[in-house]
């Protein structure tokens, strides 16, 4: 029971991070029908930006309040990563819009390779550690030597994910921007006929996706205390899987998918073997997709034409 | 004098006045291509304020292309398009829409996974909700059917209802010029009558300027003040609707169940 509870907490934390990245995949896929393979690397870049900013603030500028430093790091990282997201769309994807379908996909893979190599060359290939921060937590259960703990970091990660999901859901469902975004998703040409600047809406979608990846990047750094240039790939693929599992195009689906992948991974590691955790996660994905091809919260297409 | 007689007088006066002023929309020598295939060749066309102008022609004549070329996609490769005195030939689609031209396009293109209400909100994009309540009331009066269905997903409605929604959505932007592309396509005769009645109301009551593209030549010419005939991307005939209705070549090609058979020179059979 105690092991179960602990793994549940760990799994939800990991799943939250996947979920935040998955929102970026799902929004971009929703609006331009493209898998942004570079999104995982944008997440990795944001982790590095956060690391550099954190060291700048605490070591160089001597900021002593960790909480304040984290807040500044979060805001600046979101802004800088959003800029990356915007630039990538502008340089690598927009010129290819209207080209054949695979062109932007290939371009995205190119951007992904570029980003991980760029960081490798600029920052070195070794893992970059951060000083430990936000230590401590709550002890929920303590029987027979196995203590179930919920750390402050885990609380923060889950709370931030929940708040952002609610915020984004509101943005997409209830605001004029969200409506414009959904309109572009359903019929770009018609949206333009109604006066929507489609290119701008797509740009903003990339900016928002990157900003969310940045939040995930900061939380990832905070949680693991270490980041490397290759950290974009595996979390990126898992988050993409999460988006597909939850039903691509659906925001709550992305987070739900993230949580499921996170839970499968941690439970498999705890009860079976850690080496096969990814096999387990992806097998479940395959099984779910066989029976529910549009994902758990995906929409079945029933429309009159 | 009968009411119908007065209406005819009013319409004729309006048409004369309209012709005297500078046109609201002027298409001059416009050619457009899909790749290397010419879809429009040297098209000249005017729509004056307060008019209903119709463009008739067979399937594939280029009617919908002209509608989209007015909105910059596909862009005119030569010639010019001016709206309210401004050259719009090189503007982007959304910039043209922001000048207050609205279109109910071919195939209706309602947003299927949005509610009727949200579709109408999308129509009002230009005004950011300023006149929304008032305009919602207005389009619901014009199409009472929509009022009962505000929360329904647009994709689940019938073809006629979707057409009403497409027109209502276009009206939500308070357009100076309304482009309607085949509003009668695929609809039951009774629904067509309803929709054409609404179009007439808009023009007479609100003075709405309307450019109507139709395959249903008879209905369109009955409704419009003036008409143009498009064959293979070229305007072959134009004039007051009444004249066109009596034109033997039009009768043969479009009105008596016949279909135009364009020959190599692009002329309709019987022209």
CA distance between the termini of chain A: 53
Per-domain residue ranges of chain B: 1-100+211-271
- The pLDDT tens digits for A287-296 are 888 888 888 8
| Mean confidence (pLDDT) of chain A | 89
The answer to whether the Cα torsion of B6, B7, B12, B14 is positive or negative is positive
Instruction: With CA atoms as reference, report the closest residue to A153 among A214, A221, A222.
Output: A222
User: Residue A300: its pLDDT value, please?
Assistant: 59
DSSP 8-state class, residue B128:
T
Which chain B residues are closer than 8 Å to A251 by Cβ?
none
Q: Percentage helix, strand, coil, to 5, in chain A?
A: 75, 5, 20
A173/A300 Cα distance (integer angstroms) = 19
For residue A269, pLDDT beyond 50: yes
The pLDDT assigned to B16 comes to 60
User: Half-sphere exposure of residue B106, counting CA atoms within 13 Å on the CB side?
Assistant: 12
Handedness of CA B36, B40, B42, B47 (dihedral sign): negative
Q: Closest to B155 (Cβ–Cβ): which among A189, A195, A304?
A: A304
pLDDT of residue B258: 44
Q: What is the DSSP letter of A279?
A: H
Cα torsion angle, A268, A273, A277, A280, sign: negative
Stretch among A17-31, A44-58, B135-149, B250-264 having the lowest mean pLDDT: B250-264
Say how far apart CA A214 and CA A50 lie, in whole Å.
Answer: 8
H or E, element range at A159: helix A152-174
CA separation for the pair B65, B37 (Å, rounded)? 12
Q: Which CATH superfamily is domain B1-100+211-271 in?
A: P-loop containing nucleotide triphosphate hydrolases (3.40.50.300)
pLDDT given at position B257: 54
Contact B97 A194 (CB under 8 A): yes
The pTM (predicted TM-score) of the whole model is 0.86
Cβ contacts of residue A181 below 8 Å, gap of 6+? A27, A30, A31, A172, A201, A204, A205
DSSP alpha helix (H) spans, A175-197: 176-186, 188-193
Domain limits, chain A: 2-231
- Least CA distance to B163: which residue of chain A? A305
**Residue (of B204, B201, B142) closest to B6 by Cα position:** B204
Chain centroid to Cα B149, Å, comes to: 25
Of the residues B70, B111, B117, the best mutation for testing chain A's interface (the one with the most A CB atoms within 10 Å of its CB) is B111
Q: Is the dihedral of CA B94, B99, B101, B104 positive or negative?
A: positive
Report pLDDT for A305.
Answer: 38
* A300 shares contact with chain B (CB less than 8 Å): no
Q: Which residues of A touch B159 (CB under 8 A)?
A: 304
pLDDT digits (tens, 9 = 90+) for A92-122: 999 998 888 889 999 999 999 999 999 999 9
CA distances from B234 to A66, B9, B38, B179 (A): 72, 32, 10, 19
Residue pair A205/B136 in contact (Cβ under 8 Å)? The answer is no
CB contact under 8 A, B159 and A193: no
Q: Which positions in chain B touch A191 (Cβ < 8 Å)?
A: 122
pLDDT of residue B265: 42
Whole-angstrom distance, CA of residue A52 vs CA of residue A60: 11
Checking ipTM against 0.95, whether it exceeds it is no
DSSP assignment of A9-36: HHHHHHHHHHHHHHHHHHHHHHHH----
- CA A255 to chain CA centroid, nearest Å: 9
Q: Tell me, what's the pLDDT at B100?
A: 95
* Residues 206-225 of chain A whose Cβ lies under 8 A from any Cβ of chain B: none
Q: Which of B94, B105, B156 sits opposite A197 (nearest CB)?
A: B94
Interacting residues of B235 by C-beta distance below 8 A, sequence separation 6+: B43, B44, B45, B228, B229
Task: Give A238-300 as a DSSP string.
Answer: HHHHHHHHH-TT-HHHHHHHHHHHHHHHHHHHHHS-GGGHHHHHHHHHHHHHHH-TT-SSPPP
**In terms of DSSP bridges, do strands B226-231 and B234-240 run parallel, antiparallel, or are they unpaired?**
antiparallel
pLDDT tens string, chain B, 271 residues long: the values are: 566 666 666 666 666 665 556 799 999 999 999 988 999 999 999 999 999 999 999 888 999 999 999 999 899 999 999 999 999 999 999 999 999 999 999 999 999 999 999 999 999 999 988 999 999 999 999 999 999 999 999 999 999 999 999 999 999 999 999 999 999 988 889 999 999 999 999 999 999 999 999 988 988 999 999 999 999 999 999 999 999 999 888 888 877 654 444 434 444 443 3
Question: Whole-angstrom Cα distance, residue B233 to residue B57?
Answer: 9
How many helices, marked H, and strands, marked E, lie in chain B?
A: 11, 10
End-to-end CA distance of chain B: 38
Contact A194 B157 (CB under 8 A): no
pLDDT in tens, A207-224: 999 999 999 999 999 999
Residues of A in contact with B111 (CB under 8 A): 182-183, 186-187, 190
B13 touches chain A (CB under 8 A): no
């Amino acid at each position: 029971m105690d092991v179960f509870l602990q793994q549940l907490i760990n799994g939800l934390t990991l799943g939250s991070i996947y979920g935040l990245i998955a929102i970026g995949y799902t929004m971009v896929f929703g609006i331009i029908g493209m898998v942004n393979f570079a999104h995982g690397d944008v997440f990795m870049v944001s982790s590095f930006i956060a690391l550099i900013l954190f060291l700048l603030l605490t070591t160089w500028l001597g900021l002593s309040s960790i909480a304040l430093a984290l807040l500044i790091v979060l805001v600046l990282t979101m802004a800088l990563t959003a800029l990356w997201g915007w630039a990538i769309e502008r340089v690598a994807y927009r010129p290819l819009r209207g080209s054949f379908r695979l062109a932007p996909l290939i371009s995205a893979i190119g951007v992904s390779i570029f980003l991980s190599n760029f960081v490798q060359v600029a920052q070195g290939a070794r893992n970059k550690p951060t000083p430990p921060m936000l230590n401590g937590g709550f002890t929920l259960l303590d029987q027979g030597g196995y203590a179930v703990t919920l750390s402050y970091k885990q609380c923060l990660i889950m709370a931030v994910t929940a708040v952002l999901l609610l915020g984004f859901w509101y943005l997409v469902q209830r605001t004029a921007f969200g409506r414009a975004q959904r309109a572009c998703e359903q019929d770009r040409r018609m949206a333009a006929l109604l006066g929507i600047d489609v290119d701008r809406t797509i740009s903003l979608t990339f900016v928002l996706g990157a900003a969310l990846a940045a939040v995930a990047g900061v939380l990832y750094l905070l949680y693991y205390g270490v980041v490397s240039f290759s950290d974009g790939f595996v979390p990126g693929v898992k988050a993409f899987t999460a988006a597909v599992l939850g039903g691509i195009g659906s925001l709550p689906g992305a987070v739900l998918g993230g949580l499921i992948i996170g839970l499968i991974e941690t439970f498999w590691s705890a009860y079976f073997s850690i080496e096969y955790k990814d096999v387990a996660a992806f097998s479940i994905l395959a099984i779910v997709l066989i029976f529910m091809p549009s994902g758990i919260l995906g929409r079945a297409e029933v429309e009159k034409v | 004098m009968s009411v119908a007689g007065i209406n005819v007088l009013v319409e004729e006066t309006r048409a004369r006045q309209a012709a005297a002023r500078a046109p609201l929309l002027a298409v001059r020598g416009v050619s457009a291509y899909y790749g290397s295939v010419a879809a429009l060749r040297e098209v000249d066309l005017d729509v004056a304020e307060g008019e209903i102008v119709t463009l008739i022609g067979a399937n594939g004549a280029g009617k919908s292309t002209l509608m989209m070329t007015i909105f910059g996609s596909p862009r005119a490769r030569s010639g010019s398009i001016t709206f309210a005195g401004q050259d719009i030939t090189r503007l982007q689609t959304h910039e043209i829409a922001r000048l207050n031209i609205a279109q109910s396009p071919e195939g209706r293109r309602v947003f299927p996974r949005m509610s009727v209400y949200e579709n109408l909100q999308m129509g009002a994009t230009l005004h950011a909700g300023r006149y929304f309540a008032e305009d919602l009331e207005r389009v619901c009066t014009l199409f009472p059917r929509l009022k009962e269905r505000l929360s329904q997903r647009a994709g689940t409605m019938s073809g006629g209802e979707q057409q009403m929604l497409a027109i209502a959505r276009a009206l939500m932007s308070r357009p100076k010029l309304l482009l309607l592309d085949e509003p009668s396509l695929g609809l039951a005769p009774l629904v067509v009558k309803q929709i054409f009645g609404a179009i007439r109301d808009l023009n007479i009551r609100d003075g709405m300027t309307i450019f109507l593209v139709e395959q249903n030549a008879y209905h369109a010419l009955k409704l419009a003040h003036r008409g143009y005939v498009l064959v293979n991307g070229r305007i072959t005939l134009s004039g007051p609707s009444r004249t066109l209705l009596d034109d033997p070549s039009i009768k043969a090609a479009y009105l008596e169940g016949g279909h135009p058979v364009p020959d190599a020179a692009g002329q309709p059979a019987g022209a």
